[in-house]
Structure 1
Amino acid sequence: MRVAIAQLNSTVGDIQGNIEMVRDCLARVEAQQPDLLILPEMFITGYPLQDLLKKNWFIQRAEDGLNAVARLSERARCAIVIGGVARRGLNRGLFNGAFVFYQGKEVFWQAKSVFSDFFDEARYFEPAKEIKLWDFRGERIGISVGESAWNHNAVQCQAGKENEPFAFQVHQGATLLINIAASPFRLAGSNWRQRLIQQCCPSCHQPLIFVNQVGANDELIFDGNSLIVTADLKKGTRLKPFAEEIKIVELKELAHMPFEPCPDEEMAGLYDALVLGIRDYFRKCGFQKAVLGLSGGIDSAVVAALTVAALGRENVLGVTMPSQFSSAGSVEDSRTLARNLGIQILTIPISTLYHHYLETLNPFFGNRGPDETEENIQARIRSNILMAIANKFGGLVVATGNYSELAVGYCTLYGDLSGALAPIGDLPKTRVYELAQFINRSEEVIPIAIIKKPPSAELRPGQKDEDTLPPYPVLDKILKLYLEDGFDAETIVEQGFAAETVKLVIGRLAKSEFKRQQAPLVLRVRGWVDRFPIAARY
């Protein structure tokens, strides 16, 4: 059997455009006469759809899309395996499924068995009622969707005791396993998904075809990395990460193809993921131009480099907005960065505007001395300038804040939190430094002075981040223990951290949820989203 794997970048809601991609794909593979053309999970509609799935008119369009793919299969030699949504059964329940079309008809479908908490899928879909096999051209094919193939407790099947779809399908006699997925990138090493697949199906002894979505939709980045391999992952081939690709493989030749896992290069994967996330966000939202503030700090430097890689230097405008508290070095470092990146930079001083604000407000402030209020005024002036430039020239403001600062609220609402997209908003500060070093791996793009200088918001004389926060290596470790590992304060203190520091971090995190819920869209790279109540005491 000859199989065509189509790792393509669909757009959420653009059903007609996604179907045109299927049509083009069929034309491209026609000469090589594959038996199967396989596309990712929910390719027809794009993924995730959120509450579009609750709109009857959209579901009707999605089902019309399935019918359109059926018509495309009339003239094709191959069968088409594609992800979509449809209402099925007596109660017309909604299913996320893999649908197979051949010679103008739907010949098979398999619903998804296990739903991801990350996508809130149980809110919309019904799970598979059974796991079935499809017989085609001498193969008994087991098809699964998304995480259902990787979960040992995927579904309690009516026909046997097995709970794991791969193993259950092989037990039924499957000779070929196909998994279509929309599995997002996760900052956990390039091979985490391959290790998971290998752990979940070591005894299947049948070839596996994994077809993953590629591209970014809103905050989610899908890395591709589709593969076709033997069960032990020792023979086979892999598709490119973070890029569209169509690959045709003859199954009988699989045993002669040494499988090379993707290199476990974490920073390279992170860089490619964020560049793809920025590029697709702008492209799918219909924008080309980006505007961002350049402070002379590490965060804005890294975001500027990523944005240039995503959109091209001609589409990025940097703006430096010095005040009386800005160091000369920060302004010059911003200009050096702009020269290195080849982008236009504007210098718009804000001291006059800042003093006008104070002259207007001081009569109402009474005898209250300077505090964070005056610092936040500066951040909001800068936000207004960036938004005005973006509005006037038809661009989007890119926010430059990182995960560590956002977690503890070290940011200004309607100030540096303003923007359409926060590319590094899910990246701890210590990781931002690592990414800066990666960007500089071949040449000095980000000035060394920016990397070496102590972090500072420069909103008051001599200000340093560590005046308010623990050192970032300490802060990031506490955040990991509390948010990722689920430890309470007492357990974190037992790990060797000062009780006052732990209390400060957890307290600031609890009080800052209202900021996080008003932050720009954050590109997700850690694999989960932390959600907490706002009006709460804990």
Structure 2
Amino acid sequence: MLMKDGFIRVAAATPKIRVADCIYNEEQMENDIRQAAERGAKLIVFPELCLTGYTCGDLFLQRSLLDGAAAALEELIRFSKNEDMVIVAGLPVSIGQKLYNVAAIVQKGVLLGLVPKTNIPNYSEFYEARHFNPGPQKPRKIYFGGQETWFGTQLLFSCVNMRDFVFAIEICEDLWVPAPPSISHACAGATVIANLSASDEITGKDNYRRDLVSGQSARLVCGYIYADAGQGESTTDLVFGGHDLIAENGQILRESNRFETGIIYGDLDIEKLACERRRMTTFQTKGQEDYVVVDFELGVSDINLERYIDPAPFVPSDMREREKRCEEILTIQALGLKKRLEHTHCGHAVVGISGGLDSTLALLVMVKAFDMLDMDRKHIIAVTMPCFGTTDRTYNNACRLVKTLGATLKEVDIRDSVRVHFRDIGQDESVHDVTYENGQARERTQVLMDIANQKGGLVIGTGDMSELALGWATYNGDHMSMYGVNASVPKTLVRHLVRYFADTAKDQVLKDTLQDVLDTPVSPELIPPKDGEISQRTEDLVGPYELHDFFLYYVMRFGFRPSKIYWMACQAFDGSYEPQTIFKWLQKFYWRFFSQQFKRSCLPDGPKVGSVALSPRGDWRMPSDASVALWQKDLERLSMEI
């Protein structure tokens, strides 16, 4: 159910009109409304002065046109009785011997309000001040079309059965001024802005218009529906392209082809907008007392979501953007380490190198930081510590990687020391339990710490954010370091960072080695191999990282309920994972995320690189003993639906 999960389908429509033919124009709008209803739209926005046409000129002063527009609106109101949709249409309205350019908000036979345009352009090709007056801010009750309704700019329209869905109106020029009315609308609580526009086309204006709409939706953390006048308007001096746009918090969800008529649809995530505003304490609500709130109710319906949901929210889909992002992240990581090395006056840095993705990325970052400091790469001490689960493939890759990068390779075989430890604590080496695994991890950390003491250096952590979210780290083992360069890099992004380094490497041996690291299954290699191959695959135990990173993003970034994340994941991974598989690993995610917080509460320092991070000093402050009961209950309810 879209509304239950916080989604609402909206539409921006540009019908082909006839200038001053109100009956014809209203009929075209009815056709669009029928089409939008079939697609499940709950809010449809038409262009500025659509019932008459924007280019009527001095005909706006003719009583016949004004009466015709009012009659057409009354017919639209009657038509709306059978449609479960809010309709926003533009027309000229005469009130108290003054003419206003207004948006009429209609739903189920009721005229909810008339919102006048605030900023009346009178420059270049625009001469609206010849006919129209700026509308009053303070709403008042008027009679129009046989109904009592509200008139004024400070009107909010609130859906009673989806309280975060609150929309407000601005009209064309209102968006283009230094202080658009939508600013106060959003501060008063509007999560969606509908803009009825008649923006003519000149060369390059479409790019500016698109940036304006996306930028305003980002600034106000809102959905923005921009419906533009198109074919049928007079071409005496201007051409109108019907450039419709639907944006959400800076992202263009849908955009029409210019110079065509029709409808575009967008599924706005109202819950996401509300969550983002709650998170941003600088988004201050104010001025609500100046507004009149008009309530309306919409039916709840089941509709297949048409919105694209990226299965890899941490990784840009565009290759050029991805390369830019990778270079940026590597630089942030390296600069963080550079500062720490400078501050501590450390001439060496120590890292455990396993031949896996995470330690490979950490080493690459260290190399970049040392190059920034003009320090000899030989002062990077990369330690390989083979033990019971080490394979020839990962060992050889680790050694080759260190030598190719010019760092110092040090090998410490920990088998004997781990066996001594097992003997001391009475651990049977044939029992491959958690003690067997963690004993190796902690021995490796001890070795790294002591080598760092010998060299007067820092131990650089390799664990990534996905592992920290799941608690897939040995407490006081690989969980601990003196600076964790990968701490806010999710596993799916680690892979792309290493691939980017491989793609841009000039040394063929380095390129080939990195490619083989990428092809190696993710594993802690703590269980003996079978026939020389890795026997312990992380994703077989905790689940696919691409799923967990998807869950992590929406849990951390927007605080969505488990059920909503599940339905979104089903759409994002349709064809890749069965719904039952997604549900299984979502349950696992929540259990691990809550139970393993104690590990995140004492993390080493590390640089934040993206909008999601788990640092206990910054982005994520969670009690280590918080209950998962509420989230489990939502999953239990969900299990009965699937």
Q: Which residue is equivalent to 2:600?
A: 516
The partner residue of 2:499 within 428, 431, 437 is 437
- Are residues 263 and 414 of structure 1, via their aligned partners in 2, closer, same or farther at CA, if it must alter by over 3 Å? closer
Paired with 2:537 and 2:322, the residues of 1 have a C-alpha distance of: 38
Matches within 5 A, 1:288-303: 288-303=347-362
Q: Judge conservation of contact 1:401–1:425 (CA < 8 Å) in 2.
A: yes
Paired with 1:395 and 1:296, the residues of 2 have a C-alpha distance of: 22
Residue 501 (1) aligns with residue 585 (2): yes
SS at match of 1:419: coil
SS at match of 1:454: coil
- Are residues 263 and 339 of structure 1, via their aligned partners in 2, closer, same or farther at CA, if it must alter by over 3 Å? closer
Q: Aligned partner of 2:596: which letter?
A: S
SS at match of 2:503: coil
Paired with 1:323 and 1:350, the residues of 2 have a C-alpha distance of: 6
Q: Judge conservation of contact 2:354–2:385 (CA < 8 Å) in 1.
A: yes
| TM-superposed deviation, 1:485 | 2.7
Q: Which residue is equivalent to 2:440?
A: 378
Paired with 1:510 and 1:354, the residues of 2 have a C-alpha distance of: 31
| TM-superposed deviation, 1:490 | 1.6
Greater shift after overlay, 484-493 or 327-336? 484-493
Residue 321 (1) aligns with residue 385 (2): yes
| TM-superposed deviation, 1:478 | 1.4
Matches within 5 A, 1:302-381: 302-312=361-371, 313-362=377-426, 369-381=431-443
- Percent identity of the aligned residues? 27
Q: Which residue is equivalent to 1:537?
A: 627
- Are residues 375 and 196 of structure 1, via their aligned partners in 2, closer, same or farther at CA, if it must alter by over 3 Å? farther
Paired with 2:378 and 2:331, the residues of 1 have a C-alpha distance of: 20
RMSD: 3.1
- Are residues 351 and 368 of structure 1, via their aligned partners in 2, closer, same or farther at CA, if it must alter by over 3 Å? closer
Q: Judge conservation of contact 2:487–2:606 (CA < 8 Å) in 1.
A: yes
Matches within 5 A, 1:145-156: none
List, as ranges, runs of 4+ consecutive aligned residues in structure 1 with deviation greater than 4 Å: 195-201, 365-369
Q: Judge conservation of contact 1:295–1:330 (CA < 8 Å) in 2.
A: yes
Q: Which residue is equivalent to 2:107?
A: none
- Are residues 331 and 368 of structure 1, via their aligned partners in 2, closer, same or farther at CA, if it must alter by over 3 Å? closer
Q: Judge conservation of contact 1:493–1:499 (CA < 8 Å) in 2.
A: yes
Paired with 2:379 and 2:217, the residues of 1 have a C-alpha distance of: 43
Paired with 2:428 and 2:402, the residues of 1 have a C-alpha distance of: 42
Q: Which residue is equivalent to 1:449?
A: 516
| TM-superposed deviation, 1:297 | 0.3
Paired with 1:200 and 1:430, the residues of 2 have a C-alpha distance of: 29
| TM-superposed deviation, 1:285 | 2.8
Paired with 2:218 and 2:414, the residues of 1 have a C-alpha distance of: 57
Q: Which residue is equivalent to 1:273?
A: 332
Q: Judge conservation of contact 2:432–2:527 (CA < 8 Å) in 1.
A: no
Paired with 1:264 and 1:295, the residues of 2 have a C-alpha distance of: 26
| TM-superposed deviation, 1:272 | 1.4
| TM-superposed deviation, 1:441 | 2.4
- Are residues 264 and 400 of structure 1, via their aligned partners in 2, closer, same or farther at CA, if it must alter by over 3 Å? closer
Paired with 1:367 and 1:428, the residues of 2 have a C-alpha distance of: 33
- Are residues 464 and 367 of structure 1, via their aligned partners in 2, closer, same or farther at CA, if it must alter by over 3 Å? closer
Residue 283 (1) aligns with residue 342 (2): yes
| TM-superposed deviation, 1:392 | 1.1
- Deviations along 1:498-520, whole A, 9 cap, x unmatched? 32211100110101111011221
- Deviations along 1:264-320, whole A, 9 cap, x unmatched? 921121121111111112112322311000011011011101101101413211000
| TM-superposed deviation, 1:436 | 0.5
Q: Aligned partner of 1:317: which letter?
A: I
Matches within 5 A, 1:28-39: none
Q: Which residue is equivalent to 2:547?
A: 474
- Are residues 367 and 342 of structure 1, via their aligned partners in 2, closer, same or farther at CA, if it must alter by over 3 Å? closer
Paired with 2:327 and 2:559, the residues of 1 have a C-alpha distance of: 28
Q: Judge conservation of contact 1:291–1:395 (CA < 8 Å) in 2.
A: yes
| TM-superposed deviation, 1:200 | 5.3
Matches within 5 A, 1:62-141: none
Q: Judge conservation of contact 1:321–1:347 (CA < 8 Å) in 2.
A: yes
Q: What TM-score, normalized by structure 1, do the two folds share?
A: 0.50
Paired with 1:370 and 1:525, the residues of 2 have a C-alpha distance of: 37
| TM-superposed deviation, 1:152 | 6.3
- Are residues 382 and 264 of structure 1, via their aligned partners in 2, closer, same or farther at CA, if it must alter by over 3 Å? closer
Paired with 2:601 and 2:557, the residues of 1 have a C-alpha distance of: 19
| TM-superposed deviation, 1:440 | 1.6
| TM-superposed deviation, 1:531 | 2.3
- Deviations along 1:300-356, whole A, 9 cap, x unmatched? 011101101101413211000000211011111101101221111011101101111
Q: Judge conservation of contact 2:351–2:460 (CA < 8 Å) in 1.
A: yes
- Deviations along 1:67-125, whole A, 9 cap, x unmatched? xxxxxxxxxxxxxxxxxxxxxxxxxxxxxxxxxxxxxxxxxxxxxxxxxxxxxxxxxxx
Q: Judge conservation of contact 1:429–1:476 (CA < 8 Å) in 2.
A: yes
SS at match of 1:292: strand
Q: Which residue is equivalent to 2:565?
A: 492
Runs of at least 5 residues in structure 1 that lack an aligned partner in the other structure: 1-150, 162-191, 202-261
Paired with 1:332 and 1:388, the residues of 2 have a C-alpha distance of: 24
